[in-house]
Amino acid sequence: MNSPVVRPVVLCGGSGTRLWPLSRTHYPKQFLRLVDEFSLLQNTLRRLDGLAGLGRTIAVANENHRFLVAEQLHEIGLQADLLLEPAARNTAPAVAAAALHALGEAPGQDPPLLLVLPSDHVIAEVAVFQAAVRAAIPHALAGALVTFGVVPDRAETGYGYIRRGDPVLGGYALDRFVEKPDPETAQAYLDSGQYFWNSGMFLFRADTYLEALQRFAPGIRECVATAVADARRDLDFLRLDQTAFAASPANSIDYAVMEKTEHGVVIPLDAGWNDIGAWDALATIGQADANNNTQHGDVLSIDTRNCVLLSEGRLLATVGVSDLVVVATPDAVLVANKAKAQEVKALVDELKRSSRAETEFRHIVHRPWGSYEGVAHGPRYQVKRILVKPGASLSLQKHHHRAEHWIVVKGTAMIVRGDDSLLLSENQSTYIPLGVVHRLENPGKIDLEIVEVQSGSYLGEDDIVRLEDSYGR
């Protein structure tokens, strides 16, 4: 066998509800820049730099996030095959789609290794992580299904565990997976030295995984094979067939394959791993100050200890408090006991039951052409700041219930308004009456920024009739 090709498979479908109000349905945790100037997704792929034999990345994403994924990969200069899931079916079907796609791209060649990575984790020691991947490669080439077990440093009840078996080169045979334990059991696991945290990262040959899936979960293999065979190309994306993929049983790799295989290997990983599962996790990744406060944004704290304080805009000030999480965004403020950070998910569930829009979108909404930000709203009016990237354009559209007034703040705007075409520069404006067909385009070399004032009886985003769209929406 030739030198192995390792194809990263990054799973981008998580929701990250415990990091609300920063994480939203349409802008979840993996796209946030929580640690440095790069998002968690970007850092997931940046930490692979320097690994030998890397092939082209496969990103498996929710179709609602497709332009976000593409834009963030473009920002770090990375090209990838982007597979779109038409329905959430957990990790086993997602990785099956990646495996089938990878094999289909290399007929007659040695099967590639798939390095399966969640897109929303933090790993502090990249060199240690890469060494663990290199240690896993010989086992994967020999037909093992390899996972990476995080060496625990505390009795954690929020993670599943892996019990190790007999030693093998660089790791251990995989004995079994165990569910999240109660505190006493977690302490016993830690004391025994026989258990690792389940990282959700894997390495195996594409064909080995599919063979195991055929043996243990043939329904997944069959449905996903049809979904890949009937997939259709859409711009830079590959859309898996909706009917076939939705028919697949929903299951994780752990339950579908890893808990049943006799060929599992676990490689220890002691590299500063953190899944940023809730707000209190930010204090454990080296960002706390002398008072054990983790602060981001415009924050002023006095006599404040052991808090997570984050503001996306206005000044956040605290005096004489401790053990709190306070997160302020332009449209929501979260105040929680730090010890109850995991329970933010229950709060989000309640907000969803109340159909609150604050669970869906951030105040800045990203689109393939740029973004828009809500500035002000009231009865029958709404103000937005719209940014259009150079060379990009919005769809040709009209509205049944609102009129729009556009003011150019920066750049140059090419505007179609009914039968007219207008070229507007800074401080110029135009009016789009209700029902008139229109389009906004940036023909320049710098970002176009406009202020849009909407007025009318209904201002919802679903009042858009698209007549022509470059992005297939």
Q: How far apart are CA 106 and CA 211, in angstroms?
A: 17
What residues does CATH 2.60.120.10 cover in the chain? 364-468
Residue 77 has pLDDT above 60, yes or no: yes
For the domain made up of 6-274, give the CATH fold.
Spore Coat Polysaccharide Biosynthesis Protein SpsA; Chain A (3.90.550)
Query: For 201-225, what is the mean pLDDT?
Result: 97
Q: How far apart are CA 213 and CA 221, in angstroms?
A: 6
Q: Which of 36, 33, 58, 205 is nearest to 117 (CA)?
A: 58
Chain-centroid distance of CA 442 in Å reads 28
Residue-wise pLDDT for 282-337, tens only, equals: 877 767 889 999 999 999 999 999 999 999 989 999 999 999 999 999 889 999 99
Is the preceding omega at residue 118 within 30 degrees of 0, hence cis? no
pTM to 2 decimals?
Answer: 0.86
Q: How far apart are CA 444 and CA 429, in angstroms?
A: 17
pLDDT value, residue 170:
95
Sequence-ordered list of residues with C-beta below 8 angstroms from that of 218, at least 6 positions apart, any chain: none
The answer to whether 373 and 78 have CB atoms below 8 angstroms apart is: no
Overall residue count recorded for the chain in this entry:
473
Query: For 61-87, what is the mean pLDDT?
Result: 92
> Which CATH code of 1.10.580.10, 3.40.50.150, 2.60.120.10, 2.30.110.10 fits the domain covering 364-468?
2.60.120.10
174 strand-pairing partners: 164
Q: Which residue type sits at 405?
A: H
Residue 1 has pLDDT above 60, yes or no: no
The CA distances from residue 425 to 255, 413, 430, in Å, are: 58, 6, 11
Mean pLDDT of the chain: 93
Q: How far apart are CA 442 and CA 423, in angstroms?
A: 10
Residue 2 has pLDDT above 80, yes or no: no
Residue 291 DSSP one-character state: T
Radius of gyration in angstroms for the set of CA atoms belonging to the chain, rounded to a whole number:
24
What residues does CATH 3.90.550.10 cover in the chain? 6-274
Residue-wise pLDDT for 417-458, tens only, equals: 999 999 999 999 999 999 999 999 999 999 999 999 999 999
